[in-house]
Amino acid sequence: MGMKPVKNRSRAIFEEVGVETPKQMPVAPKGGMIDARPKGARKALMFWMVSLIVLAVLQLGLDATPGFGIAELELVQPYTGLALFAAWALGALGLAVSRRLPPGWGMRVAGLGLGCLLLAASDPAPMSQLSKALSPAPAAEVLPQTGALPPLQLLPATPPTPAPVVAPPTPQERVVQAANLVVAQIERAQTTLGAAPFATLRLGLAFALAGFAFWYALLAARTEAALISARRQAEPGLVGLATGLMHLSFLQLLVGGLVTGLGAGAVFSDWPLMGGLWLPPDMLSLQPIWRNALENQALLQFSHRALGYLLVVLALVALIRSRRSVHAVTRTAFVLAAVWMLLQAVLGVVTLLHGDPLALRLAHLGGALVLWLFLIRARFLARYPRVQSIRGIK
């Protein structure tokens, strides 16, 4: 079957060639069909990620200083991890039901959910309170008075009564047993690791959640087409430097958490020396030797300072390297990261010289969080640079 040939007809002298009738004109394609769904979901994704970041930061602050001395916050503190997991669950459920989750985001959402669950489950307080709330109140035992006892009577021997049949546990009792088991396992892990390493793990988990959520928020701020186009102009050298800085700063955060948990900042409060020496003599005094990495105040304080010096040097190297970038936004991101790295180092020295007071300790923790986000943003812009128009370049 073929199409009927169009009959030749004579054209007028002034008739334009190539002009078709409305029925013969092709239908114009509609733009935005491919990324219409991701656009709607990306705003919801950004709001969801920002809410997770806010709850993770709140968890960080409450772990660093329980309740900040405020009675109301002390009551809220045990439920912050549960609120973080609930926010993740509601967001994931909403995007799954509406089928507006962009392609390729399934593993990202699942990874965030696992982190939120671990952070919520690492606090024994909610499970302990749940067990107390569901456990029945013990009945008060009333003992009879001695003078009111009747005289003893000899009774004939009777055969032993059979053992009573134990009724199966009710659902409420099963929940209480599960909560008690979870509390026992968490307390066992805390006792095995120690209070300071266990608190440091929670600190690192909260920082990791905030970092991943921030990275995903940056991804959701752009369309898939814009990300693919920007990735073609990525700068691998800057990406590698930013990645190294990001991982090294996370290690510095964990070491700083151990330093704070063990109170090493108040023990060695001089700088640049430590107790009047460049190398404290007790850095490897604990046995077995692996305990020094978790419990030795001298080794942890020395490692924290050495990592700080290395981070400052690498930040300056990245700053110099970023000046060759053709993207102004990328250069600005690395300038902000390097400047904040210097300010964080100065704040750390000031906190040390003042004996590690609470106010400066919280400021140092907040500065570490801001630096962490600045480094993540610098890495993101090195991998997905923002292309500026030639008209905007002066």
Establish whether the linkage from the previous residue to 280 is cis, with ω within 30° of 0. Answer: no
Q: Which of 8-17, 73-82, 87-96 has the lowest mean pLDDT?
A: 8-17
What is the rounded distance in angstroms from the CA atom of residue 203 to the CA atom of residue 210? 11
Q: pLDDT tens digits, residue range 205-262?
A: 999 999 999 999 999 888 888 888 888 888 888 999 999 999 999 999 999 888 888 8
What is the rounded distance in angstroms from the CA atom of residue 242 to the CA atom of residue 33? 36
Q: pLDDT tens digits, residue range 34-62?
A: 344 444 478 888 888 999 999 888 888 77
Rounded to the nearest 10°, the torsion over CA 177, 179, 180, 181 is 90
Residue 116: exposure state from Cβ atoms within 10 A (0-12, 13-18, ≥19): buried
Q: pLDDT tens digits, residue range 283-314?
A: 777 778 887 788 888 888 888 899 999 999 99
What is the rounded distance in angstroms from the CA atom of residue 81 to the CA atom of residue 115? 10
What pTM, to 2 d.p., does this model score?
0.76
Q: pLDDT tens digits, residue range 311-337?
A: 999 999 999 999 988 889 999 999 999
pLDDT of residue 104: 81
Q: Would you say how long the chain is, in residues? A: 394
For the packed helices 106-121 and 195-220, what is the interaxial angle rounded to 10 degrees?
A: 150
Contacts of 250 (CB under 8 A, 6+ apart): 204, 207, 208, 211, 372
